[in-house]
Amino acid sequence: MVADKGKVLRQLKTARGQLDGLIKMVEDDRYCIDISNQIMAAQAILRNVNREVLHAHLNCCVKEAFGTEDAQQKIDEIIGVMDKLSK
């Protein structure tokens, strides 16, 4: 992985903490809207981490593949990710 590993790990650990908090909220029968807001916060962190990883992938792995026989494979991978993100 070529993304800023420290930054990605910090964000993932934050998301993990939010998930642990969400589990506790459900166990404690907290208010539904509060739980929903925390779910959206965790999703936002994961979206940001994914964006960071994909930017790094495009700027390094895909860029390096241009002009090689791996170029089409890298393009197809990105198209696949974009298709998944748009669902």
Cα separation, 27 vs 15, in Å, equals 18
Cβ–Cβ under 8 Å, residues 63 and 13: no
CA distances from 58 to 24, 53, 77, 82 (A): 38, 9, 11, 12
Cα separation, 4 vs 57, in Å, equals 11
Cβ–Cβ under 8 Å, residues 41 and 18: yes
Here the tokens at position 3 are 């993304």
Q: pLDDT tens digit string along 11-66?
A: 999 999 999 999 999 999 999 999 999 999 999 999 999 999 999 999 998 989 98
Matching residue, tokens 């991978």: 77
- If pLDDT is split at 50, 70 and 90, which confidence band does 67 have? confident
Which range of residues forms the domain containing residue 43?
5-85
The number of domains in the chain is 1
CATH code: domain of residue 66: 1.20.58.1000
